């Protein structure tokens, strides 16, 4: 069953990373190609979300909860996988509900920030999953420099919380600025 999870996780990773590139392309351009790529964004995010939910569900079936929750690495992986799926679901909802308005004014930069943040979350989740099966990357060294030892730390370090807080405030500020700019027009 572990092999199924290993195969399934590559679908949401590929789809969400492609969505990130599509969002960044659309942020940088209003051309015909960027608009065509944007028309594929909602289906891309939807398929990514469905495959992410499938990968998450199979991952929970692979190892018994008692096993995966007995180590900080396992708990962090499940926690971050939950956050990743929820995060990309919210990004899908934002694009779907707001429509073309997400590309107007400052909101386009909010979308860029959200896409980059989602990709970072996805990368950390994948790194932790790789560690669980013995595949190590340099991302864990970067996490260690940020104060997070993936094998022993089961919490979000203060530096990470501070970074999340700063990014959250910046994105909320950009969103409010964009809303005010749109209402003023």
User: Does the pLDDT at position 171 exceed 90?
Assistant: no
**If pLDDT is split at 50, 70 and 90, which confidence band does 132 have?**
confident
pLDDT, position 23: 97
pLDDT tens sequence across 19-72:
999 999 999 999 999 999 999 999 999 999 999 999 999 998 888 888 888 888
For residue 156, is pLDDT > 70?
no
Structure pTM?
0.80
Calculate mean pLDDT across residues 72-76: 86
Q: Give the residue from 58, 103, 109 showing the smallest Cα distance to 85.
A: 58
Ordered DSSP codes for the chain:
-HHHHHHHTHHHHHHHHHHHHHHHHHHH--SHHHHHHHHTHHHHHHHHHHHHHHHHHHHHHHS-HHHHTTSHHHHHHHHHHHHHHHHHHHHHHHHHHHGGGGGSTTHHHHHHHHHHHHHHHHHHHHHHHHHHTT---THHHHHHHTT--TTT--S--HHHHHHHHHHHHHHHHHHHHHHHHHHH-
């Amino acid at each position: 069953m572990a092999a199924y999870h290993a195969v399934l996780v590559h679908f949401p990773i590929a789809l969400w990373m492609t969505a990130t590139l599509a969002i960044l392309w659309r942020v940088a351009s209003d051309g015909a190609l960027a608009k065509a790529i944007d028309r594929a964004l909602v289906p891309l995010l939807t398929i990514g979300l469905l495959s992410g939910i499938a990968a998450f569900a199979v991952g929970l079936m692979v190892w018994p909860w008692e096993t995966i929750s007995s180590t900080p690495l396992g708990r962090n992986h499940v926690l971050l996988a939950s956050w990743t799926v929820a995060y990309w679901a919210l990004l899908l909802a934002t694009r779907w509900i707001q429509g073309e308005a997400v590309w107007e004014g400052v909101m386009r930069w909010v979308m860029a920030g959200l896409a980059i943040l989602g990709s970072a979350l996805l990368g950390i989740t994948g790194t932790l999953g790789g560690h669980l099966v013995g595949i190590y990357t340099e991302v864990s060294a970067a996490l260690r420099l940020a104060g997070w030892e993936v094998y022993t730390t089961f919490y979000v370090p203060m530096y990470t919380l501070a970074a999340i807080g700063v990014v959250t405030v910046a994105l909320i500020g950009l969103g409010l600025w964009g809303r005010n700019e749109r209402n003023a027009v």
